[in-house]
Amino acid sequence: MELAYNVTEFILIGLIQDQKIQQVCFVLFLLFYLVIMLGNLLIIVTIKCSERLNSPMYFFLSYLSFVDICYSTVTAPKLIVDFLVEKKTISFIGCIAQLFVVHFLGGTEIFILTVMAYDRYIAICNPLHYMTIMNKHVCSWLVVASWVGGFVHSMVQTLLTAQLPFCGPNEIDHYFCDVHPLLKLACTDTYIVGIIVVANSGMISLISFVVLVVSYVVILASLRTHSSEGRLKALSTCASHITVVILYFGPCIFIYLRPSTTFSQDKMVTVFYTIITPMLNPLIYTLRNEEVKNAMRKLWSRKVSLGVK
């Protein structure tokens, strides 16, 4: 049976309806987006230009920053522009494409954060064999696996959603195209699709979060045998990573580990993992990391000295 798509575009309700507050939000979120871009680009440039930051941990961190830039760019620019327009529309194809890219990059970020936890586990619990286990070949394959995992996850979500019939209404109660708001608009029973979404997005988030928590419990337990200096350095690195994990996984689990329903709080919760976490990641990883701060100082001093010459 051929499905007819009567809906050619969707209307986004947006984050906030009050026009005066929207003007304030335009400035605020534009500032957020600039911080995301500049902060994450600074991390990438610092890691690429510094010879001391050539360990697997920083290799993964540079890819995390790259994913954060892409991830925010999928949703933030349209959100910012939509604060200034009365009718916020997106084509059907554009909506499905946005859904795919959001879940592709979101899934990739989940897997990269899990890989980073594995890297810290090997570094702290098996330091003598760390460089042998986490060699360049292994690190590259782990990053590739993260991208492939994100792609497979997103394809499942997107194909299930795109094949549904949409015949109206076409108002999405969100500021971007996500799976739950779209399922509400489908002109058919979406119970099975909703279950698959929970099994896909929800369980990936939950299982990865549990794996991360268990790995850090093991890491913290193993620190008892380390020197006080080594213990403090490891704790600082792990604390940064745990903070990012909680900020990212908490909202994801809240949104996706439940049946296909939407709550009024969903849009504000989603802001955390699409905008706030990508903005805070560079601050969290630099403020608690002396190696990164020293590398940034050297990079800046080198730039200043070249400018003087």
Q: β-pairing, 171-172 with 89-91?
A: unpaired
pLDDT digits (tens, 9 = 90+) for 201-244: 888 888 889 988 888 888 888 877 767 776 777 777 777 788 88
For residue 264, the model assigns a pLDDT of 67
pLDDT > 70 in the chain, percent = 92
Does an H or E element contain 10, and which?
strand 9-12
For residue 296, the model assigns a pLDDT of 77
Look at residue 152 and tell me if it is in a domain: yes
For residue 305, the model assigns a pLDDT of 59
Total tally of structural domains belonging to the chain: 1
Look at residue 301 and tell me if it is in a domain: no
pLDDT digits (tens, 9 = 90+) for 132-142: 999 999 999 99
Long-range pairs for 123-132: beta carbons < 8 A, 24 or more residues apart: 123/56, 123/57, 124/219, 124/222, 124/223, 124/226, 124/234, 124/238, 125/218, 125/219, 125/222
- For residue 68, what are the CA distances in angstroms to 4, 40, 181, 191, 242? 36, 7, 23, 32, 17
Look at residue 122 and tell me if it is in a domain: yes
Look at residue 300 and tell me if it is in a domain: no
- For residue 168, what are the CA distances in angstroms to 35, 179, 187? 38, 16, 8
Cis peptide before 181 (omega within 30 of 0): no
Look at residue 159 and tell me if it is in a domain: yes
The boundaries of the domain holding residue 257 are 9-294
Look at residue 309 and tell me if it is in a domain: no
Tokens coding 172 = 């999405």
For residue 288, the model assigns a pLDDT of 66
Task: Please state, in angstroms and rounded to a whole number, the distance separating the CA atoms of residues 83 and 23.
Answer: 7
Q: What is the 3-state secondary structure (H, E, C) of 189-219?
A: CCHHHHHHHHHHHHHHHHHHHHHHHHHHHHH
Look at residue 115 and tell me if it is in a domain: yes
For residue 11, the model assigns a pLDDT of 92
Average pLDDT of 78-88? 91
Q: 260: pLDDT confidence band, cut at 50, 70 and 90?
A: low
Average pLDDT of 283-307? 72
Which residue bears the tokens 């969707």? 10
The CATH number of residue 270's host domain is: 1.20.1070.10
Look at residue 19 and tell me if it is in a domain: yes
